[in-house]
Amino acid sequence: MSEFSLKAITRKNESHSQLADLRVASQVPGVIYGNNFENQNVAVDYNELLKVLIKAGTSHLIILDIDGKEIRVLARHWQQDPVTDRLTHIDFWAIDEKSPVTTTVPLTFVGVSKAVKEQGGKLNIKNDKVKVKCLPKDLPSALEIDLALLDEMGKTILVKDIPVAKDVKILTNATDPVVSVSVPKKMRGPETTVAATVAPTEAAVPAAAEKKAPEKKKAKK
């Protein structure tokens, strides 16, 4: 599994104004925590952190170099400014090599669906990540989904269909859909409508069909 390196510095538990100053200086405040690990406040360079998160996500190990001391971590959570989307805080999970970790792993879609390529079906991706649990050494960077399995309209690949190593447990609901192929609306036939049959009534009888009363003859003078 790929690993990424990132430098960090130790920081104290600053006030809100001091944290704001860190961000102005392109530093992102963060914290490292984990089982049998004493929480540690750190700060990392904004641009370097962004580069690592884009590649590592939550499924790659990151080697944090904190003032010359290396700690293996996973990016667990991060916060972003609701207006600018800039990173404002990062949480790292310190790894214990002998203890299982729970994290989210992305799904990658490979191959070609026959139902899409030859039959004009529409590919519907329902899930692009799953939650897994395993030892750090067994953590996959991604799980592959073979679209060739979707060889007919209406087929669906479920979470339980994802191939995974025996030492990796998927925690996401086994019956959740991952990807399916359906018939596009433009290929569906017109909807069938049933017209109601109304029985004729007396009110519907044309007036022309009614018998007219005979006219009276005028008397001769």
- Cα–Cα dist 41/11, whole Å: 5
Look at residues 152, 149, 151 and name the one whose alpha carbon lies nearest to residue 160: 149
Question: Tens digits of per-residue pLDDT, 40-98?
Answer: 999 999 999 999 999 999 889 999 999 889 999 999 999 998 999 999 999 999 999 89
Mean of per-residue pLDDT scores for the chain: 85
C-alpha distances in angstroms, 214 versus 66, 94, 207, 211, 217?
A: 115, 108, 16, 9, 9
Sign of the alpha-carbon dihedral angle for 127, 1, 75, 5: negative
- Per-residue pLDDT band for 116 (boundaries 50, 70, 90) equals very high
Q: Between these two residues, 204 and 76, which has the higher pLDDT value?
A: 76
Residue for token pair 């995974």? 164
Q: How far apart are CA 69 and CA 217, in angstroms?
A: 126
* Whether residue 155 has pLDDT greater than 70: yes
- The secondary structure of 47-73 as a DSSP string is HHHHHHHHHHTTTSEEEEEETTEEEEE
Give the per-residue pLDDT at 204.
Answer: 42
- pLDDT recorded at residue 208: 43
Cα separation, 64 vs 67, in Å, equals 9
Residue 216 clears pLDDT 70, i.e. is over it: no
**Most distant CA pair in the chain: distance in Å?**
138
Q: Torsion angle of alpha carbons 75, 76, 79, 85, nearest 10°?
A: 50
* Two tokens, residue 108: 């990658």
Q: Which domains does the chain have, with CATH numbers?
A: 3-97 (2.40.240.10), 103-187 (2.170.120.20)
Residue 194: predicted pLDDT: 41
Tell me the C-alpha to C-alpha distance, in Å, between residue 55 and each of 11, 14, 47, 48. Answer: 26, 30, 13, 11
pLDDT above 80 (res 218): no
pLDDT band at 11; cut points 50, 70, 90: confident
pLDDT score of 197: 42
d(CA 219, CA 221): 7
